């Protein structure tokens, strides 16, 4: 195994690939670029930007990141077919530093039921895929999918073939989150013993049993020097190892991970987490380690007393070290465009031209109603504008609601929606104003479907906090999307989230690609974890 960076743990971020495969997440190109730029600011070593062969949107997303983001290695995922590898290379070629990550399943169940290939065919695929990838770049990663349930000796043979054909990283996916720390670590140790060559060993752990971070860290102790992880732990099913948890464990427990280093600007963790949450529509649980709102909150009097006397009594990390240094009240309704754009710049948000104009208009509108806006509010506004700045089929022009209070009659809502060049008005009634307004939006846009999930949060604390609504929506043909909306008013935030979801459905329909088409699970089609 390579000892070139023996003390350095490479942070391989797969938020935009495995994370983007989470149900309901469907990021546009601008949103992917925004996240990739923030990941570069965070200092990740590798960005897995997507799966170029999966769709035109995926290809363009990866290519856009390869063209626009500097710093990290830009990696594309690819199955072992030569057409996949060629397409992957085409997408990542513009990047300064690029990696092809190719994979094929090695477990009995995947080979038989999904690939319909014999073990010998799988071995031949690996040899040809890695060779093809090496003809493009000397940075090639190979993964035996479903490694933790594969026949160990066979998987080692496959890994040896990959190493012999030039793979420089060997990644061991616990695809279905089946592994436990001691077992996974044992497998990695054994692989290091058995598989000869100059490669970096890597972990990729899913969280089905809540063990993704523990397994990844056990892997590091067993010699892995790359961890594949995602912001907020998003990913297929229960998700991937959470990047912020892996990084802070290595940095906090230096006694345990002696001499090991990660090159992450940890002060950017909180902001990255918020951005990913906003753009994916996946809320962050309040008690989420490191980045959750309560991660540094002390409720019990005895704890508060302890922390006030000496922070280390109940805090093992400094909140400032992860960017959790409270929300500063920064701007209000009298702040001008200059102060606004200057503060965004200080926050590391590079917003210009039309996007700046749109964000400033939104800021003014909210500041008029809320008076003062914190950094977290500003980030939320900008993230909201990034999404709504996309080419949207539907734009909410007017929302007027009545009722909702006790004794005021049946709630109703009237909306005016811009649909292309047309303004359409609809009025509907409902059990509450949110329901009435959603119905009216559906009528005005001619869109069908149902809300499957609905959450209201606040961006900061306090009665004047901005309402932040996350919801999920499913169209009759089974397209599942997430929507997110922000406003001083809960009903308005809900409808903004609803309209953003409808716009996503429309985009998926227009592209002709339905990522949730049950057909996609057919053998031979794209089906990965």
Binding-site partner at residue 103 among ligand KIV, Zn ion, none, CB < 5 to 8 Å by type: ligand KIV
**H-type helices in 241-296, by residue range?**
243-252, 269-280
Least distance CB 172 / ligand KIV (angstroms):
9
CA dihedral 515, 519, 525, 527 (to 10 degrees): 60
Question: How many residues interact with Zn ion (rule CB under 5 A)?
Answer: 2
Please state the closest distance from residue 298 (CB atom) to Zn ion, in A: 36
Kindly calculate the radius of gyration of the chain based on its CA atoms and give it in whole angstroms.
24
Query: Which residues from 13-32 bind ligand KIV, rule CB under 6 A?
Result: 18
CA torsion 228-57-54-271 (nearest 10°) is 10
Among 145, 268, 474, 492, binds ligand KIV (CB under 6 A): 145
Nearer to Zn ion, 130 or 234 (CB): 234
Q: Which partner, ligand KIV, Zn ion, none, binds residue 110 by CB below 5 to 8 Å per kind?
A: none
**13 CB burial (10 A radius; 0-12, 13-18, 19+):** buried
62: region left, alpha or beta (phi > 0 left; psi from -120 to 50 alpha): alpha
**From candidates 175, 187, 277, 460, binder to ligand KIV by CB under 6 A:** 175
How many beta carbons lie within 10 A of that of residue 413, not counting itself?
Answer: 27
Note whether 520 and 526 are within 8 A (CB).
Answer: yes
Q: Which does 472 bind (CB under 5 to 8 A by kind): ligand KIV, Zn ion, none?
A: none
143 within 8 A of 171, measured Cβ to Cβ: yes
Beta carbon of residue 455, minimum distance to ligand KIV (angstroms, whole number): 27
Of the two residues 77 and 185, which places its CB atom closer to ligand KIV in the complex? 77
**x/- letters, 17..56, toward Zn ion (CB under 5 A):** -x--------------------------------------
Shortest approach of Zn ion to residue 207 CB, angstroms? 10
Q: Is the alpha carbon torsion for 21, 10, 272, 72 positive or negative? A: negative
Segment interacting with ligand KIV, rule: CB under 6 A, options 168-176, 386-394, 460-468, 489-497: 168-176
Of 26-34, 36-44, 170-178, 462-470: span binding ligand KIV (CB under 6 A):
170-178
Between 204 and 274, CB nearer to ligand KIV: 204
The span from the CA of 376 to the CA of 265, in Å, is 19
Strands 10-13 and 450-458 come out as unpaired
Q: Which stretch binds ligand KIV (CB under 6 A): 5-13, 169-177, 332-340, 395-403?
A: 169-177
> Is 100:137 a contact under the CB 8 Å cutoff?
yes
In the complex with Zn ion, the residue whose CB is nearer, 137 or 529, is 529
Q: Give 80 or 529: the residue with its C-beta nearer to Zn ion.
A: 529
Q: Among the candidate windows 10-18, 62-70, 314-322, 353-361, which touches Zn ion by CB under 5 A? A: 10-18
Least distance between Zn ion and beta carbon 352 (Å): 35
Q: Is 83 exposed, middle or buried (0-12, 13-18, 19+ CB in 10 A)?
A: exposed
36, 272 Cβ separation under 8 angstroms: no
User: Which of 55, 106, 143, 500 touches ligand KIV (CB under 6 A)?
Assistant: 143
What three-state secondary structure class fits 529? coil
What is the C-alpha to C-alpha distance for residues 264 and 45, in angstroms, rounded to an integer?
Answer: 8
* Nearer Cβ to Zn ion (78/266): 78
Beta carbon of residue 236, minimum distance to ligand KIV (angstroms, whole number): 7
- Least Å distance, CB 42 to Zn ion, is 20
Instruction: Choose which of 24, 52, 72, 173 interacts with ligand KIV (CB under 6 A).
Output: 173
CB of 145 to ligand KIV, least distance (A): 4
Say how far apart CA 100 and CA 370 lie, in whole Å. 48
Long-range contacts at 236-239 (CB < 8 A, ≥ 24 apart) = 236/18, 236/21, 236/22, 236/206, 236/529, 237/177, 237/206, 237/207, 237/208, 237/529, 238/177, 238/206, 238/207, 238/208, 238/210, 238/212, 239/19, 239/22, 239/206, 239/207, 239/212
3-state secondary structure of 422: strand
**Which of ligand KIV, Zn ion, none does residue 145 bind to, with CB < 5 to 8 Å depending on kind?**
ligand KIV
List binders of ligand KIV among 489-528 (CB under 6 A): 528
Q: Is 107 in the site for Zn ion (CB under 5 A)?
A: no
Q: Which of 204, 424, 439, 484 binds ligand KIV (CB under 6 A)?
A: 204
Choose among ligand KIV, Zn ion, none what residue 271 binds, the Cβ cut-off being 5 to 8 Å by kind. Answer: none
- Between strands 98-105 and 140-145, the pairing is parallel
529 binds Zn ion (CB under 5 A): yes
Assess 103 for contact with ligand KIV (CB under 6 A): yes
Q: Which of 229/290 has CB closer to ligand KIV?
A: 229
Rounded Cα distance between 94 and 90, Å, is 8
| Backbone conformation region of residue 352, classed left if phi is above 0, alpha if psi is from -120 to 50, else beta | beta
Which residues of this chain interact with Zn ion, rule CB under 5 A? 18, 529
Which residues of this chain interact with ligand KIV, rule CB under 6 A? 18, 103, 143, 145, 171, 173, 175, 204, 206, 528-529
């Amino acid at each position: 195994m390579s000892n070139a960076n023996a003390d350095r743990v490479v942070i391989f971020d797969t938020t935009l690939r495995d994370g983007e495969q989470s149900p309901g997440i469907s990021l546009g190109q601008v949103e992917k670029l925004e996240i990739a730029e923030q990941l570069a600011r965070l200092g990740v070593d590798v960005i897995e930007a997507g799966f170029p062969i999966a769709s035109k949107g995926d290809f363009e997303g990866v290519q856009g990141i390869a063209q626009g983001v500097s710093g990290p290695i830009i990696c594309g995922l690819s199955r072992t077919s030569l057409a996949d590898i060629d397409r992957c290379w085409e997408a990542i070629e513009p990047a300064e530093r690029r990696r092809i990550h190719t994979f094929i399943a090695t477990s009995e169940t995947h080979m038989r039921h999904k690939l319909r290939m014999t073990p010998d065919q799988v071995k031949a695929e690996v040899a040809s895929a890695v060779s093809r990838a090496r003809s493009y770049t000397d940075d090639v990663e190979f993964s035996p999918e479903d490694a933790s349930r594969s026949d160990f000796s066979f998987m080692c043979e496959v890994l040896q073939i990959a190493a012999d054909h030039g793979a420089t990283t060997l990644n061991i996916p616990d695809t279905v989150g089946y592994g436990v720390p001691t077992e996974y670590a044992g497998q990695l140790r054994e692989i290091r013993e058995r598989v000869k060559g100059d490669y970096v060993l890597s972990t990729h752990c899913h969280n089905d049993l809540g063990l993704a971070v523990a397994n990844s860290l056990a892997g590091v102790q067993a010699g892995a020097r790359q961890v594949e992880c995602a912001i907020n732990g998003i990913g297929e099913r229960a998700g991937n190892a959470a990047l912020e948890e892996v990084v802070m464990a290595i940095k906090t427990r230096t006694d345990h991970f002696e001499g090991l280093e990660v090159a992450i600007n940890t002060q950017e963790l909180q902001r990255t987490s918020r951005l990913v949450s906003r753009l994916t529509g996946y809320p962050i649980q309040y008690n989420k380690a490191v980045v959750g709102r309560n991660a540094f909150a002390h409720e019990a009097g005895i704890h508060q007393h302890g922390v006030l006397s000496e922070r280390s009594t109940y805090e093992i990390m400094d909140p400032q070290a992860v960017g959790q240094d409270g929300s500063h009240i920064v701007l209000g309704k009298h702040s001008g465009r200059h102060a606004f754009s200057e503060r965004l710049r200080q926050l590391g948000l590079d917003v210009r031209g039309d996007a700046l104009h749109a964000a400033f208009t939104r800021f003014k509108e909210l500041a008029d109603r809320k008076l003062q806006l914190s950094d977290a509010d500003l980030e939320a506004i900008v993230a909201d504008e990034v999404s709504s700045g996309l080419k949207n089929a539907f734009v909410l022009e007017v929302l007027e609601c009545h009722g909702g209070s006790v004794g005021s009659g049946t709630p109703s809502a009237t909306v005016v929606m811009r649909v292309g060049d047309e303004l359409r008005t609809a009025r509907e009634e409902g059990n509450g104003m949110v329901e009435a307004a959603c119905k009216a939006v559906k009528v005005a846009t001619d869109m069908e479907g149902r809300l499957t999930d609905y959450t209201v949060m606040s961006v900061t604390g306090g009665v004047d906090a901005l309402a932040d609504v996350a919801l999920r929506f499913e169209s009759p043909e089974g397209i599942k999307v997430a929507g997110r909306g922000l406003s001083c008013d809960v009903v308005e935030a809900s409808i903004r989230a609803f309209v953003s979801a409808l716009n996503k459905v429309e985009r998926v329909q227009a592209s002709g690609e339905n990522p949730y088409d049950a057909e996609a699970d057919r053998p031979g089609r794209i089906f990965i974890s």
